[in-house]
Structures are given as C-alpha cells and as structure tokens.
Amino acid sequence: MLYFIKGWLNLKQPVIKTDGYTTKVTVMVAARNEQERIHYTIEDILAQDYPKHLTEIIIVDDHSTDRTSEIISSYADRGVKLLQLNEAQPLNSYKKKAIAKAIGISNGDLMVATDADCRMGTKWLSSIVGYYEANDVVMISSPVNFFEEKSLFERMQTLEFTFLIGVGAAFIGHNWASTCNGANFAYRKDIFYEVGGFTGIDELASGDDELLLQKVAERFPGKIGFLKLRDAIVYTHAKYNLKEFLQQRRRWASKSTKYKDKKIIGLTIFMWFFNMTMLVNVILGFFNIAFFNIFLFQFALKYLIELIYLALICSFFKRTGLLLLLIIVAPVHIIYLAYLALMGTTRKYHWKGRMVK
C-alpha cells in the first residue's frame, strides 16, 4: 500500500497542449442493449470541444435485441458511424471483436475507447489528445469514477472502484503498467497492430483493456501514461444489486489467468493471502483469543494504510465523503476478496445476456 501511495504521488500535474491539435482521433464504443443510456454518451461525445474535422466516432452494435442500433443510426447526420457486428459463429469475446473491427475501418491515428453507458465533460477528448501530443506516450489510461449513486451499496462500490482506479494509476506512476479501465483508454492504432492486437488474449470475454495494456507495456516500457486530470474523468454507474456486482467482478477477475508479469501475480497472491489470514484468525479466535488479537492488529493496519491511500485518490475525484464508508467496506472487502479469488477463475458467468468465461 505504501508502494501505491508513492506511485500516486509520483504522478504530477500533467503537461498538456491546449490548442493547435493535429491528431486524427477515432472514438470507439462497443454497445449491446444500451437503449436506455446510449444517447447520453453520444450527446456527450458530440459536445466535445476537440476539432470536429479531426474527430471520428464509430459505435459498434454487438447484436443488440433492443433499439440500440436504431438510436445510433439517428445520429448518422451528425457524423456518428454505426458498425453492426454480425458473427455467424459464437464468440467468447464479442467486445474485443467489436473493437478490432472498429479499428479496422477507422481513419484516426489515436484510438480512444469508452463504454456505451458513460458520461464525460466537454474537455474530455481535448485533454486526452493534449496529453498525447505533449508527451512521448503510445498508450494513455485515464480516470473513471462512479456517480449518481442511489443507495449505500452503490456508494460502497464507488469507494472500492476508486481504490482500483488508484492502483492502476499508481503502477503507472512507477513506470510499471498493470491495470486500467476500458471506459477511458487511448492508444495509437499502429501500436495496436504492432503488438498483434488481441491475438493471444481473445479467448477471454474480458481483457480488452488490461491485457492489451500489458502487451504494450512489455513491448514499450515507460511509454504508457496515466492522465491525472479532472477534465479527463469518465463517469459511469455502479451496479444496482449484489448479483450484477458479483458478475461484473468475476468478469474482471477472469483476466488474471492471462497475466504474464510474475510480479503482478505475486503481489495479487500476497494481498489475497493477507486477507485470507485475517479470515482464518477470526475463526481461530473463537478457540484462542490470541488469534483474534492478531486479527485486530491486522485490521487496524489495513484500515489505517488504506485510509491514507484512499484519502489521496478520493481527494482527486472530490469524493472525500466516501471515506466514512471505509469502516464498513474494509471488513466486507476481506470476505469479497476470498470469494472473488475462487469464483473468478473457476466458473463461467453471465454477461449481457450471454454465458461466457
């Protein structure tokens, strides 16, 4: 955790260009059954202050069964391109196929990916391109956060998600790219092809972000940046119920089976082991109070270090009020990690109406 704190602090105020842009950009969105919210995303992308003649928007409809494609088509006169996925054979990773096809027909040099249920401010795209043009990077991870929470459960998710976004940023702060979020992810088109695109990771439903980032990091060390700028934040929503939340996190956890960096795997196992010993000490505490005392020491250490770390990340997102929830989230997180480690790599799961692995 001290390593993460230092990594976050290593990320200084970014240098960005504010005018004179020259980069042709393709904004890519993969959408499936998003009729309720996709018009918000499209409107936000169209409202960007980045030059229109340098912007291309491609939205791939992934076999939607609702009005998603119809809504996308209604923006054709405003330059939004609809690409419909029509795969005859079942796939496990439809999203990777959608992104690869969008890149295949794109005219941009910088690919900027987001999701069909996201919101962003008007300076989102210009911030990303401004950072890209002012810095020697080939890939950019940018901040994502939840918003518009309606329940305690959703606010708890926001705190945990903020933790994860900070971890990805901290790794990059140490020039060790490991994790990111595909809702706010940019990379050069030629680099995508140079590392072989999704080849080798295309059998997993997830991983269009982290696994691609790790492929690029291996080939281009030190060339990946995290855009620590509020104008670059993309907002999305927490899951409404426990079932959807666990399905989402199992999907994310499934990517870990493809991690090639042994240091990442070792760190993940250590963090899991630490939390598992806390569970074991609670159980043993019923038989010997000494074990429960060890648990209390572990929990106090976990709580205080995570509080310091989260105070930094939440301050960036202007969500410091979420820190009050850590006393609830911290013990729940111990049980959650134990479950996720077992379920994320051993079972199939439902996602967007499909059974995937």
Q: What is the pLDDT of residues 177-187, one digit of tens each?
A: 889 999 999 99
Indicate whether 309 and 338 sit together in one domain. yes
Cβ-contact 344, 250 below 8 angstroms: yes
Structural domains counted in the chain: 2
Instruction: Identify whether residues 40 and 171 lie together within a single domain.
Output: yes
The structure's pTM equals: 0.91
Strand segments (E) across the chain: 25-31, 55-61, 80-84, 110-115, 119-120, 139-141, 144-146, 185-188, 224-226, 234-236, 349-351, 354-356
Question: Which residues form the domain of 287?
Answer: 262-349
Strand, coil or helix: 83: strand
Q: Are residues 271 and 195 in the same domain?
A: no
Same domain assignment for residues 167 and 121: yes
**Residue 179 placed within a domain:** yes
Please write the tens of the pLDDT for every residue from 278-301. Answer: 999 999 999 999 999 999 999 999
Looking at the fold, whether 204 and 316 belong to one and the same domain comes out as no
The reply to whether 16 and 162 lie within a common domain is: yes
Residue 199 and residue 319 in one domain: no
Q: Are 277 and 336 in the same domain?
A: yes
Domain membership of residue 357 (yes or no) is no
The closest alpha carbon to 8, from 101, 143, 197, belongs to 143
The domain spanning residue 161 has which CATH number? 3.90.550.10
Give residues with Cβ within 8 angstroms of 30, minimum separation 6. Answer: 59, 60, 62, 94, 95, 98, 99, 102, 115, 116
For tokens 């070792």, the residue is 266
Do 124 and 86 sit in the same domain of this protein? yes
Name the phi and psi angles at 37, rounded to 5: -130, -10
Do 94 and 62 meet the contact criterion of CB atoms below 8 Å apart?
A: yes
Residue 107 to residues 26, 91, 124, 150, 276, Cα–Cα distance (Å): 7, 26, 20, 40, 49
Residue at 166 is within a domain: yes
Regarding whether 105 and 32 lie in a shared domain, the answer is yes
* Average pLDDT of the segment spanning 75-88: 90
- Per the model's pLDDT, the better-predicted residue between 73 and 256 turns out to be 73
Q: Is residue 254 assigned to a domain? A: no
Average per-residue pLDDT for the chain: 90
**Domain identity same for 196 and 341:** no
pLDDT score of 233: 98
